[in-house]
Structures are given as C-alpha cells and as structure tokens.
A and B are shown apart, each in its own frame.
Chain A
Amino acid sequence: MPRRPRVTMLRLAAEAAANSFARPAVTLGMVFAVAAMLVGSAVAEINATTTIRSYERDLIGAGYATLLVTQAGAGGTALSTRTCAQLGSIDGVRAAVAMSEPEPIHLWTAGGPGLSVRYASGDLSEFVALVESNALAGWTSAQALVDVKSGASSPGPLEYPLRLVDDGAETHDVNSLTVPLSAFGNGLSAGLVIWDARAGPASACFLFVETPRRDYVIRSVDIALPAIAGFARQWVLASADRFEAPPHRFATRPSQYYWAVASLTFIALGALHLRLRRSDHALYAIGGIKRRHIWALATLELALIILVAAMLSIATISILGSRADARGEELRVGYASLARGGIAIVGCAAILARSQANRTIDSTLEAIKDR
C-alpha cells in the first residue's frame, strides 16, 4: 500500500501561518510595506488617469473634438440641416448639430440686455452630454440652452423661464437650462441656443469627433463637402492637433510601470525577510523536509503576507475611491495596476523562496549556523 505523504501542503500551510502569527511585528510590517507599495502604484495610476481625463475634458470643452463645417462661398450644394445630419453618419462622428447664423435678441424687454442666439437642430443634447456628462441632468423640457458665461445663465442645475424679445419686438417665452457651450466655439460663448427642429439651410455644422477617428472624419468631410465647392472645415480649438492627444498621453503615462517598481522593491524586502528566516528554514531542513517543501513553506509564508496586503490594498482603494468619488474607469485602472503588482509580487516571492530552498538544502550546515 502506498505510504501517505509525510509532509502535506495543509501541514506546511499550518506551519507557515503559525510562524507568521508568532512574529506579528515582522509580519504586519511586511504586510503594511507590501500594501503601501501596491496602494501607492494603484493611487498613482488613478491620479494619472484622473488628470488625463480632466485634461481630455478641458480640451473637449474648448473644442478639441468639435469639427466646424461652414460654407464660405456660393456653391452647387448649400449647407443644410439635412447635409449636417448626413455628416453625422460618418464613422467616428458621435453627434452632429446644424446651426443658423447668430441673431441678436434681448432679455425680458426690447430694451433689455442683448444676447446672441442661434437656432440649432440635430443631436444637440447628445453633443452637450458628450462634452459634459452631467450637464443635462436637470433637463426635462428646456427649449433653450444658455452658456454658463452668459448674463442669462442660472447658477442652479434646474430649468428656468426666460423671456426673449427679437428685433421685431416679438416676445418668446422659453424654458431654459444653463450648460457649458464653449465646445461650440467663441460664437456661442456667453450666448444661447434655441432648439429648432425645422429643416432648412444652416450656416454651420458642428461635429463631435472621436479622437482616434479625427483624420478619417476630416478626409470623409473633405470628400463629401469639398473646398472647391466652397465648404471649409476647421477644429473649433485653434491648433488642436498641436495638443498632445489624450489617448497618447494616457498610453505614455509613467505610472503604468509603478507596479514593476513595486515588484522590484518587494524583491529587496522579500530577500531581506527570507534572509532572517534562513536558520528557521534550516531547522525544517534538518528536520527532514525536502527541498520542494522548504520552497512551499517559504512561499506560503510570503504568500500569506501578500494575500493580507492585497486585501488591505483593495479595501483601501475602494474606500479612497468612494471618498474621492472616483469614476469606475479610473478605479479599474487602479485595480489593474494592483492586480499586475500582486501577480508580479507573488511570482517574485516564488522565485525568492525557491532560491531560499536551494541555499538551505545545498548548504544546510552553513544555514543552521546562521543564527
């Protein structure tokens, strides 16, 4: 009958746990050190992602993603709400808004403060939401969107009534909502847009373009509405292409490698820890347990520390994330860094433990004297 293995993984795990709990200061010190490294690399990733997202939002808010198509001269085809809607079907265009020429209008009375108003059709609400996801949170039935810089804006998120008087002294009572309109360019800064679903000619078409598809959209627009026919197009943010593209900035962020730095630091820390455990492991070796069991024991001792540190790190990131109101995407980047670091550290621990087992078994006499 085959003999039952003398040293089981369960027994080694019990020994590893007992050894770890018997040295609480060292174990907790290692746990906190590993957790600090993991949390540090994750927080750096979350911060970098938040910064890049903020940079991206600022650029988009300034018109980085907005392609303005206009018709400078008379041509065979006139720019219209229908043409603009067709441009909206180009792959990479998330929203298309056709607008009329700006017109002067007065607040409250014919002698009231003057404003610039444009009538818009198309994907107006989608466009505004793409620029600022929370901008339309309070929208129920507003017909007018007022720029935050306008004198007619409201500090609150709710809709409010506005009375507008045009040059013909005709009064228009509209329900309004204050949103940022800077992505539409200077023409709408401090102005307002009134929703108008009627089809007809348009003076400009605003396209919200996905960053990776910028070149493709420009080529497509050039083909659909060529310059020779009197059409012109430009990014609303002047010299937009000279800004570092957010995806490129995200791809080259240094914090994505911090998990590797944390792993290298762990190698030094883990090696020092195992060096202090050498005589204990030698006692196990002299007690007759094999090389692979020493390896397993040393790995389990480190794995226990890493496991607790990882749990502590996850809890810390979750708490920090909820307190800082971090978005899911940013937290995911942080957790990805934590996972990479955790896996790498476990790998390092296994390699270090293997080295410890080899040294202990190959030089047992030296190891037992190493007290």
Chain B
Amino acid sequence: MLTASGLAYRLPTGRVLFEGVTLSVELGQVIFIEGPSGTGKSTLLALLGGVLRSSVGDVTTTTVHPAPFAWVLQTLNSLNARTVLANAMLFARLDGTSTKVASGLSREMLRLVGIDALASARAGQLSGGELQRLAVVRALSCTRPVILADEPTNQLDRVNARLVMSTLVEQARDQNRSAVVVTHDRDSVPSDARILRLDESGLHAA
C-alpha cells in the first residue's frame, strides 16, 4: 500500500506548487490524477517515487521490496542500443528475476500492447508510440508493488491509448499492484476508475 499525507512542494522560485496532498492507494487499486499543465502532477509522482524530496509531509509504503516503484516515464527513456525485449525485462532483471521468467512475462506483455513483433528490434528504432508502449510493458513485466505512470498514452492514437490504459489497469489489478497514473487523456480512462484532480490546495475527487 502507498500512503502520502500532507505533501507540499515549493518551487525554487518560492511559489507553492501544491500543498496538503493526502493519498492512499491499496494493493490492486489504480488511481488517476489529472489537472491542468503546470499544476505539478509529474512532480507529485516524483515525490511519491522518492526521486524528489519534500520538506513537508510523508510518503510511506508497506512493502519490503528494495525498489518498490515501477516507473512509466513521460520522457520515453529506453536503452536505445538494446533490444525491445531487453528493455522490457530491465526492471525485472534488476530485481533478480531469472532471464527465462522475465523474458516470458515480457513477451506476454509486449503481445498485450501489440508490439510483440518488435521484440528483437533495437529500442532506438521504435516510434514514440511504440516506445511509450514499451515503457508500460517494462513496468508491467516486473513484480514491483507500485506502478507510477506519467502520461502513459500521450503519444498514442485513441485505439492504442485505450488498449494500453486498459492493459495497465487490468494487469495492475490482476497482479495485485497499486498504480498511480497521471493523465490528460480522459477518454482512455476506464469508466469505473477513481480519478483525482490536483490543484494548489491538494487532491480532490474529479
């Protein structure tokens, strides 16, 4: 379980980006966060994932996993010289999962998002949309208890966006993992999803 209480973040300029953010995500639960550009959604994810530190508030996880967060980055980072499969297995391999198990799971996830035919291609040859799906696969192919996804469908067409988002939600639920997804793409969000809106005063039900 991921819990945040009273989180605030002040920019180097002194402006308060947000404050009083309180959040609790159970295992198997997926929460969507939306809000206008510049309100600090990505920053909130960075605070939740420990990449940024906040002087106010706490973030706790109940897991003993040494690396609890599986990231889907907005910047579509990948090891461009390595194969798509190697990229998909990266988090799982870092967690100590055997190559055979990681490879099997990654191939299955690649199939679910429709890029299994590209498994042997170099990641540097992929389009933006394919890289985005690869980032989702990388997060789904490991066993880390918390998925943090930053706009995982912003490079995708509507059909693929729905496919990827539904795969993300279903796999998180099936694997009993928590997920926090930042998105502007309301169309791709499942109708039964819990959606929160971020503004300066914190998170509110949308």
Interface size on B, residues (CB 8 A): 29
In chain A between 10 and 52, which residues have their CB closer than 8 angstroms to a CB of chain B?
11, 15, 18-19, 22-23
- Are A3 and B66 closer than 8 Å at their CB atoms? yes
* A87 to B76 CA separation, bound complex (whole angstroms): 84
- Are A6 and B66 closer than 8 Å at their CB atoms? yes
B69 in the interface (beta carbon within 8 A):
yes
Residues of B within 8 A of A288 (CB): 66-69, 91, 94, 144
- Listed stretches A62-70, A247-255, A256-264, A361-369; interface member: A361-369
A344 in the interface (beta carbon within 8 A):
no
- Are A6 and B82 closer than 8 Å at their CB atoms? no
B79 in the interface (beta carbon within 8 A):
yes
Residues of A within 8 A of B93 (CB): 11, 15
A283 in the interface (beta carbon within 8 A):
yes
Q: Given A3-B66, A4-B96, do A286 and B73 touch, yes or no (CB 8 Å)?
A: yes
- Report the minimal beta-carbon distance from B142 to chain A, rounded to whole angstroms: 9
- Look across to chain B and name the residue whose beta carbon is closest to the beta carbon of A289: B94
- Are B67 and A289 closer than 8 Å at their CB atoms? yes
Majority SS of interface residues in chain B? loop
A-B contact count (CB 8 A): 67
Q: Given A18-B86, A288-B69, A365-B51, do A7 and B81 touch, yes or no (CB 8 Å)?
A: no
- Report the minimal beta-carbon distance from A208 to chain B, rounded to whole angstroms: 64
- Are A280 and B79 closer than 8 Å at their CB atoms? yes
Interface size on A, residues (CB 8 A): 25
* A280 to B51 CA separation, bound complex (whole angstroms): 16
- Are A11 and B96 closer than 8 Å at their CB atoms? yes
Residues of A within 8 A of B51 (CB): 286, 364-365
* A283 to B68 CA separation, bound complex (whole angstroms): 15
- Are A287 and B94 closer than 8 Å at their CB atoms? yes
Residues of B within 8 A of A368 (CB): 73, 75, 77
Residues of B within 8 A of A289 (CB): 67, 94
Interface centre among A282, A286, A371 (most CB of B within 10 A): A286
A-B pairs, top 5 by smallest CB distance, nearest first, are: A288-B67, A22-B81, A23-B81, A283-B77, A6-B66
Binding site for A on B (CB under 8 A): 46, 49, 51-52, 64, 66-69, 71, 73, 75-83, 86, 90-91, 93-96, 122, 144
